[in-house]
Structure 1
Amino acid sequence: MHAIAGSHPEIGISDPKEVDFFSYYFDRGYAWYEGHFVEGPSTRVYFESSPSYFHDPRAPERAFAYRSDLKVLALLRDPIKRAFSNHLHEIIKGHILPCTFEDGLENNPAYVEQGLYATHLGRWFDAFPADQVRVMFAEEISIDAGAAARDVFAFCGVDPAFDSPILHERRNESDRARLPVLRTGLRAGGDWLRRQGMEPALARLKQTGPVSALLKANKVDIRSEIPPMTADTRAALTERFAPEMDRLRQMLNRDRLPWDAVRLASAS
């Protein structure tokens, strides 16, 4: 979503993507925060993506005090899959040694804490008017990424008809690099192109045969190295998250959440 926003000529994105100002670096001041955004010739709004804001209880009121007209976009996914993805992310980043999800879960309570969606989202609805908070679901975005992009652009107040060239790229895959130095170099080159406002050209370049083959050859799917969670663990997490999901349905006035249908289908 951050990359799609950044491809829009009227949106200026932060560098880096996750500034974490309203959570971890609030003591550095507004000028430090604003220094992470570069204004382009047609920039109308600014966009950043810091997942820590969602679960940090201090972030909503800090953000509202900074600018009460901020718009908040919350992107949710199946909390059980999110927890497992969290575990893979910690391994990929080198924060923990490769281990089973059960061992990681025992070691890191954040796997569960960050999935308490109703608790965290409630604080944002308390701080901001409801029309300034938009909740989206990864499962629905994957069905129609174009419609999701138009929705985000309209919510941000920019041209919703803009056709982002990177709508069909896969992002944030759970993989590690065979050659970390190669990935670091390629990403540095990509970041430079983005800073020059060349995100669309970068997207096309990554789809060319040689570049696409190189990127694919340097990937190792970490899911092939870490076993899936056990059925008992899945059942325990389902029970743990159940009250939160009930509250979330009520909060969003939905009979079902996107992952409910998937679980019903797999159980039948």
Structure 2
Amino acid sequence: MTVSLDQTQLISDDGNQIVKRQLFVGIGVQKCATTWLYDILLDHPNVALSKRKELDFFSYHFGRGYQWYEEQFPADRHGCLVGEISPSYFVDANVPERLQAYAPEANLIVSLRDPVERAVSNHRHEVRLGNFHGDDLSFEAGLANNPLYLEQSRYGTYLQRWLRHIPVSRMLFLFQEDIDRDPQVIAQQVYRFLDVDDRHVSNAVEGRSNESVVHRSRMLEHARRSARDLGRLLGIDGVWRAAQKTGLQAVYRQLNRRPPEERIPPVSPETRQRLRLLLAEEIRLVEEITGRLLPHWRNQTSQ
């Protein structure tokens, strides 16, 4: 049986079983707390997330077909809300139309942060992965090397494209600054938007996911991530979270992580201000679309 996950009623081949499977999708933006979002939904009893966080189906893997996509979700969580989170969706021009055609009633979660700080975090992420390396690891050098640093921070432009296919009423906008300030309140906001039990308190709600750090050994970090992802695929991610509570994660961080400023020079105030001017219209569009004033995005010069 191959059917759209967004249909409110799925009927088995024998014509008897009816199961509700409504779809929601986190569409990004990259480096805007999407891993935190995945983690606080992963242990919710009314939510069935994809077996791995970033399916990238509607962007990179659309050629695999709907059957492959539907097989990425737990088959034994009948009645649960089904969802996935793929930051690549936000900027991909093909995704809005593809997603709307497949799941016309899907709800979307859009997570945002100060667009300049997002670009800086993007740079640190690329250095951490080893995608950008050399003697000059400054943000300015990375910006010259990778146009997507700035492009992915053009939130207003991309939101306008999304709104041509999906109404704003089906979108929840999250701001990382709010998550940092009061993560439990924002987690409850997410649960209410998805119409699941908002009394749930996630084990991950206070966690910091995908911090911008530099690893002493990228091989060791790759092994850690592989073990975590394997646990999720096997359905034993609870064991991983239990191990975190024992203090093993703190020991690992001390041994294999160091602040990015040890290798990456600080971003100059002049660079930050130049980018804020370039992104001023994008910020205005976000304010217009979300109905929220964001003066700290225009004027912030710290970090």
TM-score when scaled to structure 2? 0.80
The structure in which a higher percent of residues are helix is 1
Measure the CA separation in 2 of the matches of 1:169 and 1:103. Answer: 31
- Give the alignment of 1:227-266 within 5 angstroms: 227-254=265-292, 256-257=293-294, 259-260=296-297, 263=300
CA contact (8 A) 1:75 1:137 kept: yes
Query: Alignment partner of 2:93: what SS?
Result: coil
Alpha carbon RMSD of aligned pairs, Å?
2.1
| Residue 73 (structure 1) aligned with residue 105 (structure 2) | no
Q: Which residue is equivalent to 1:177?
A: 215
CA contact (8 A) 2:59 2:95 kept: yes
- Give the alignment of 1:22-37 within 5 angstroms: 22-37=58-73
Q: Which residue, 132, 135, 144 being the options, matches 1:106?
A: 144
Aligned length: 264
Would the alpha carbon gap of residues 200 and 152 (structure 1) be closer, same or farther in structure 2, given more than 3 Å must change? farther
Measure the CA separation in 1 of the matches of 2:61 and 2:87. Answer: 14
Q: CA deviation at 1:23?
A: 1.5
Q: Which residue is equivalent to 1:38?
A: 74
Q: Which residue is equivalent to 1:93?
A: 129
- Give the alignment of 1:147-166 within 5 angstroms: 147-166=185-204
Q: Which residue is equivalent to 2:41?
A: 5
Query: Alignment partner of 1:169: what SS?
Result: coil
Measure the CA separation in 2 of the matches of 1:258 and 1:172. Answer: 26
CA contact (8 A) 1:92 1:176 kept: yes
Deviations along 1:17-37, one digit per CA (max 9) or x if unpaired, are 111111122222111222222
The residue type paired with residue 266 of structure 2 is: P
Q: CA deviation at 1:177?
A: 2.8
Query: Alignment partner of 2:288: what SS?
Result: helix
Measure the CA separation in 2 of the matches of 1:95 and 1:181. Answer: 14
Q: Which residue is equivalent to 2:260?
A: 222
Measure the CA separation in 1 of the matches of 2:234 and 2:144. Answer: 44
Q: Which residue is equivalent to 1:133?
A: 171
Would the alpha carbon gap of residues 212 and 148 (structure 1) be closer, same or farther in structure 2, given more than 3 Å must change? same
Would the alpha carbon gap of residues 195 and 8 (structure 1) be closer, same or farther in structure 2, given more than 3 Å must change? farther
Q: Which residue, 226, 229, 244 being the options, matches 1:191?
A: 229
Q: CA deviation at 1:195?
A: 3.8
Measure the CA separation in 2 of the matches of 1:231 and 1:90. Answer: 21
State the identity as a percent: 35
CA contact (8 A) 1:139 1:258 kept: no
Q: CA deviation at 1:192?
A: 3.8
Would the alpha carbon gap of residues 179 and 110 (structure 1) be closer, same or farther in structure 2, given more than 3 Å must change? closer
CA contact (8 A) 2:49 2:73 kept: yes
CA contact (8 A) 1:15 1:37 kept: yes
Q: Which runs of no fewer than 5 residues in structure 1 stay unpaired?
A: none
Measure the CA separation in 2 of the matches of 1:36 and 1:222. Answer: 34
| Residue 83 (structure 1) aligned with residue 103 (structure 2) | no
Measure the CA separation in 1 of the matches of 2:62 and 2:295. Answer: 34
The residue type paired with residue 149 of structure 2 is: Y
Measure the CA separation in 1 of the matches of 2:298 and 2:274. Answer: 19
TM-score when scaled to structure 1? 0.90
